[in-house]
A and B are shown apart, each in its own frame.
Chain A
Amino acid sequence: MKNAVGRDIPESLLTGGREVYQGKNYMDGRYIQKAAPYTRRCETPRESKLTESIAKALKDCGAKSGMTFSFHHHLRDGDYVVNMVMKSAIEELGLTDLTIAATSLGAAHDPVAGYIEQGRVIGIQTSGIRGRIGEVVSAGRLKTPAVIRSHGGRPRAIEGGEVHIDIAFIAAPTSDCMGNCRGIGGKSNCGSLGYAMTDAKYADHVVVITDCLVDFPNMPASVEAIDVDSVVVVGSIGDSRKIASAAARISQNPRDLMMAENVAKVIASTPYFKDGFSFQTGVGGPSLAANLFLEKYMDERNIKMGWAIGGICGPMVELLKKGKVGKVIDVQDFDLDGVNSINQTPGHFEMSASQYANPANKGAFVNKLDYVVLAALEIDTGFNVNVLTGSDGVLRGAPGGHPDTAAGSKCCIIVTPLIRGRMATVCEHVVTVTTPGDCVDVLVTDYGIAVNPTRPDLAACLDAAKIPHVTIEELKEKAYSLVGRPDDLEWEDQVVAVLEARDGTILDVVRKIKPYT
Chain B
Amino acid sequence: MIPRPRPERFRLRRTMMFMNAQKPGLIKDAYIYGCDSIMLDLEDAVAENQKDAARFSLYHALKTIDYGDTEVIVRINGLDTPHWQEDIRVCVAGGADGIRIAKCESAQDVLTVEQAVETAEEEFAVEKGRTLLMAALESPKGILNAYEICSASERMFGVAISGGDFRKCMQTTPQRGGVDMLAARGQMLLAARAAGIQCFDTVFTDLDDEEGFQAEVLQNKAMGFDGKSLINPRQIRFVHQVFAPTEKEIIQAEKILLAYREQSAAGVGVFTVDGKMIDIAFIPGAKRTIQLAKACGMYEEGAL
Among candidates A254, A447, A481, residue contacting B234 with C-beta atoms closer than 8 Å = A254
A residues sitting closer than 8 Å to B (CB atoms) are 252, 254-255, 257-258, 446-447, 466, 481-482
Which residues of A have CB within 8 Å of B29? 446-447, 482
Please tell me if B221 contacts chain A, counting CB pairs below 8 Å: no
Residue interface mask B21-51, A partner, CB < 8 A = 1: 0000000110011000000000000000000
Which residues of B have CB within 8 Å of A258? 32-33, 233
Among candidates B28, B232, B234, B297, residue contacting A482 with C-beta atoms closer than 8 Å = B28
Beyond A254-B33, A258-B32, A466-B297, 7 additional contacts (C-beta under 8 Å) are A254-B233, A257-B234, A258-B233, A446-B29, A446-B32, A447-B32, A481-B66
Expressed in whole angstroms, the minimum distance between the Cβ of A205 and any Cβ of chain B is: 53
Residue in B closest to A421 when the chains form the complex, CB atoms = B25
- A293-B28 Cα distance, complex, nearest whole Å: 26
A-B contact pairs, 19 of them (CB 8 A): A252-B234, A254-B33, A254-B232, A254-B233, A254-B234, A255-B32, A255-B233, A257-B234, A258-B32, A258-B33, A258-B233, A446-B29, A446-B32, A447-B29, A447-B32, A466-B297, A481-B66, A482-B28, A482-B29
Residue in B closest to A483 when the chains form the complex, CB atoms = B28
Expressed in whole angstroms, the minimum distance between the Cβ of A477 and any Cβ of chain B is: 12
- A210-B232 Cα distance, complex, nearest whole Å: 48
Residue in A closest to B66 when the chains form the complex, CB atoms = A481
Which residues of A have CB within 8 Å of B233? 254-255, 258
- A446-B28 Cα distance, complex, nearest whole Å: 12
Interface residues of B in 1-27 (CB under 8 A from A): none
Q: Which of A252, A258, A446: most chain B CB closer than 10 A?
A: A258
Which residues of A have CB within 8 Å of B297? 466
| Number of A-B residue pairs at CB separation under 8 A | 19
Number of chain B residues whose Cβ lies closer than 8 Å to a Cβ of chain A? 9
Which residues of B have CB within 8 Å of A254? 33, 232-234
Residue in B closest to A259 when the chains form the complex, CB atoms = B32
- A210-B66 Cα distance, complex, nearest whole Å: 58
- A359-B232 Cα distance, complex, nearest whole Å: 45
Expressed in whole angstroms, the minimum distance between the Cβ of A53 and any Cβ of chain B is: 52
Expressed in whole angstroms, the minimum distance between the Cβ of A476 and any Cβ of chain B is: 16
Expressed in whole angstroms, the minimum distance between the Cβ of A262 and any Cβ of chain B is: 11
- A174-B233 Cα distance, complex, nearest whole Å: 46
B residues sitting closer than 8 Å to A (CB atoms) are 28-29, 32-33, 66, 232-234, 297
- A254-B232 Cα distance, complex, nearest whole Å: 8
Which residues of B have CB within 8 Å of A252? 234
Which residues of B have CB within 8 Å of A447? 29, 32
Residue in B closest to A254 when the chains form the complex, CB atoms = B233
- A466-B294 Cα distance, complex, nearest whole Å: 13
- A481-B32 Cα distance, complex, nearest whole Å: 15
Which residues of A have CB within 8 Å of B33? 254, 258
Q: Which of B32, B234, B297: most chain A CB closer than 10 A?
A: B32
- A510-B233 Cα distance, complex, nearest whole Å: 40
Which residues of B have CB within 8 Å of A481? 66
Expressed in whole angstroms, the minimum distance between the Cβ of B232 and any Cβ of chain A is: 6
Expressed in whole angstroms, the minimum distance between the Cβ of A285 and any Cβ of chain B is: 14
Which residues of A have CB within 8 Å of B234? 252, 254, 257
Which residues of A have CB within 8 Å of B232? 254
- A252-B33 Cα distance, complex, nearest whole Å: 14
Residue in B closest to A478 when the chains form the complex, CB atoms = B66
Residue in A closest to B297 when the chains form the complex, CB atoms = A466
Expressed in whole angstroms, the minimum distance between the Cβ of B70 and any Cβ of chain A is: 13
- A257-B233 Cα distance, complex, nearest whole Å: 10
- A447-B28 Cα distance, complex, nearest whole Å: 12
- A482-B232 Cα distance, complex, nearest whole Å: 23
Which residues of A have CB within 8 Å of B28? 482
- A1-B32 Cα distance, complex, nearest whole Å: 42
Expressed in whole angstroms, the minimum distance between the Cβ of B92 and any Cβ of chain A is: 25
Query: Top 3 A-B pairs ranked by shortest CB distance?
Result: A254-B233, A254-B234, A446-B32
Expressed in whole angstroms, the minimum distance between the Cβ of B22 and any Cβ of chain A is: 18
- A252-B232 Cα distance, complex, nearest whole Å: 11
- A258-B30 Cα distance, complex, nearest whole Å: 12
Which residues of B have CB within 8 Å of A446? 29, 32
- A257-B33 Cα distance, complex, nearest whole Å: 10
- A447-B29 Cα distance, complex, nearest whole Å: 9
- A252-B234 Cα distance, complex, nearest whole Å: 9
- A481-B28 Cα distance, complex, nearest whole Å: 12
Residue in A closest to B208 when the chains form the complex, CB atoms = A252
- A510-B297 Cα distance, complex, nearest whole Å: 47
Expressed in whole angstroms, the minimum distance between the Cβ of B226 and any Cβ of chain A is: 23
- A254-B66 Cα distance, complex, nearest whole Å: 20
- A258-B232 Cα distance, complex, nearest whole Å: 12
Which residues of B have CB within 8 Å of A482? 28-29
- A466-B234 Cα distance, complex, nearest whole Å: 22
Which residues of A have CB within 8 Å of B66? 481
- A349-B234 Cα distance, complex, nearest whole Å: 36
Which residues of B have CB within 8 Å of A466? 297
Expressed in whole angstroms, the minimum distance between the Cβ of B28 and any Cβ of chain A is: 7
Expressed in whole angstroms, the minimum distance between the Cβ of B207 and any Cβ of chain A is: 8
Which residues of B have CB within 8 Å of A255? 32, 233
Expressed in whole angstroms, the minimum distance between the Cβ of B6 and any Cβ of chain A is: 23
Residue in A closest to B300 when the chains form the complex, CB atoms = A466
Expressed in whole angstroms, the minimum distance between the Cβ of A464 and any Cβ of chain B is: 14
Q: Which of B29, B33, B233: most chain A CB closer than 10 A?
A: B29
Expressed in whole angstroms, the minimum distance between the Cβ of B33 and any Cβ of chain A is: 6
Residue in A closest to B25 when the chains form the complex, CB atoms = A421
Residue in A closest to B235 when the chains form the complex, CB atoms = A254
Residue in A closest to B234 when the chains form the complex, CB atoms = A254
Expressed in whole angstroms, the minimum distance between the Cβ of A264 and any Cβ of chain B is: 13
- A388-B118 Cα distance, complex, nearest whole Å: 55
Expressed in whole angstroms, the minimum distance between the Cβ of A445 and any Cβ of chain B is: 9
- A481-B232 Cα distance, complex, nearest whole Å: 26
- A482-B233 Cα distance, complex, nearest whole Å: 21
Residue in A closest to B233 when the chains form the complex, CB atoms = A254
Expressed in whole angstroms, the minimum distance between the Cβ of B19 and any Cβ of chain A is: 12
Expressed in whole angstroms, the minimum distance between the Cβ of B108 and any Cβ of chain A is: 39
- A446-B30 Cα distance, complex, nearest whole Å: 11
